[in-house]
């Protein structure tokens, strides 16, 4: 049986030729999510976020919301124990969130030393709880903030909440015409975002302009478990509609069906919008509410 650790290794290799790292949404997508969220933060929380990032001394990413949202992927390169925190493998043929989250292991403090076998759902809950806890020291609160900035984006990438025994789509090869090719995971990570433009702030502004008050209110319900389940649904409805077979053996390159890329771009835009609204939600709550009120969101 293929382990989740092996999946991470394969993902990193499979994406190396395309974007250098196996990043949900790629760095650009995470910046878009952070820019969207920033616009929804209260002025007081925005100041707290900026002050906390300004106190960070880690050189892996610049100390702004948009750049700090990419930090966790760079950190993972030398801290492989955090690899499985970036996703939750809900299998298409046997959807079981509890199993994909290793039975929801007991929380640890500090959260940054949590178990390697844990999923993104638990990690979001634990790090948001740390942000809200006045007993959390500043160094750990900085860790918590940077992980939250990243993981809320990750959980909205459909291939970070689903799997078809294909290493999150990394085994599914796509033919883009002529010599151009990629894999399904990279297609959703980077190609769809690149098609939206080159300026993350401009992309975020355009996406935010299309979010209605009723959508925002709807998306603010529930919590990380619900978001992962919703992303899994997007994967079934919009990602795995190519006719790819389960597994990694005998995967013939697939030509994109007519209309697939346009529909995928629309789904990706929706997921980015949801991620931005929900990232602002967890930050607004995490910096202002007591931890008992946010520890176990969702079903």
Q: What is the pLDDT of residues 97-118, one digit of tens each?
A: 999 999 999 988 999 999 999 9
Question: Could you read off the pLDDT of 118-149 as tens digits, one per residue?
Answer: 999 999 999 999 999 999 999 999 999 999 99
For residue 9, being part of any structural domain is answered with yes
pLDDT, position 23: 61
Question: Could you read off the pLDDT of 179-192 as tens digits, one per residue?
Answer: 788 999 999 999 99
Burial of 125-147, coded b for 16+ CB within 10 Å and e otherwise, reads bbbbbbbbbeebeeebbbbbbbb
Which pair of structure tokens corresponds to residue 186?
Answer: 């990279």
For residue 298, being part of any structural domain is answered with no
Q: What angle do CA 218, 163, 4 make, to 5 degrees?
A: 115
For residue 153, being part of any structural domain is answered with yes
For residue 235, being part of any structural domain is answered with yes
For residue 223, being part of any structural domain is answered with yes
pLDDT, position 250: 81
For residue 252, being part of any structural domain is answered with yes
For residue 206, being part of any structural domain is answered with yes
For residue 182, being part of any structural domain is answered with yes
CATH code: domain of residue 224: 1.10.575.10
Tell me if the bond preceding 110 is cis, omega within 30° of 0. yes
pLDDT, position 10: 41
Helix-helix angle 260-286:43-54, to 10 degrees: 90
Count of domains in the chain? 1
Domain range for 289: 4-293
Q: What is the radius of gyration, based on Cα positions, of the chain? A: 18
């Amino acid at each position: 049986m293929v382990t989740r650790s092996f999946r991470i290794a394969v993902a990193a290799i499979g994406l190396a030729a395309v974007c250098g790292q196996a990043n949900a949404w790629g760095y650009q997508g995470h910046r878009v999510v952070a820019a969207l969220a920033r616009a929804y933060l209260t002025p007081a929380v925005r100041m707290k976020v900026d002050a906390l990032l300004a106190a960070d001394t880690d050189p892996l990413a610049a100390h702004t919301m948009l750049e700090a949202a990419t930090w966790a992927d760079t950190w993972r390169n030398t801290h492989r124990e955090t690899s499985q925190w970036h996703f939750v493998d809900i299998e298409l043929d046997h959807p079981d969130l509890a199993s994909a989250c290793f039975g929801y292991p007991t929380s640890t403090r500090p959260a940054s030393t949590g178990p390697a076998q844990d999923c993104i759902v638990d990690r979001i809950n634990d790090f948001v709880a740390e942000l809200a806890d006045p007993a959390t020291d500043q160094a750990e609160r900085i860790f918590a903030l940077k992980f939250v900035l990243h993981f809320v984006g990750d959980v909205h990438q459909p291939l970070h909440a689903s799997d078809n025994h294909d290493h999150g789509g990394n085994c599914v090869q796509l033919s883009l015409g002529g010599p151009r090719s990629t894999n399904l995971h990279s297609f959703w990570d980077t190609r769809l975002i690149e098609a939206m433009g080159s300026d993350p702030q401009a992309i975020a502004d355009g996406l935010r302009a299309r979010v209605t008050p009723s959508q925002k209110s709807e998306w603010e319900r529930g919590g990380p478990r619900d978001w992962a389940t919703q992303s899994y649904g997007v994967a079934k409805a919009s990602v795995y509609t190519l006719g790819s077979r389960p597994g990694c053996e005998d995967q013939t390159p697939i030509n994109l069906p007519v209309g697939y890329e346009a529909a995928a771009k629309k789904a990706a835009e929706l997921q980015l919008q949801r991620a931005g609204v929900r990232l602002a939600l967890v930050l607004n709550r995490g910096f202002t509410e007591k931890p008992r009120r946010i520890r176990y969101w969702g079903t």
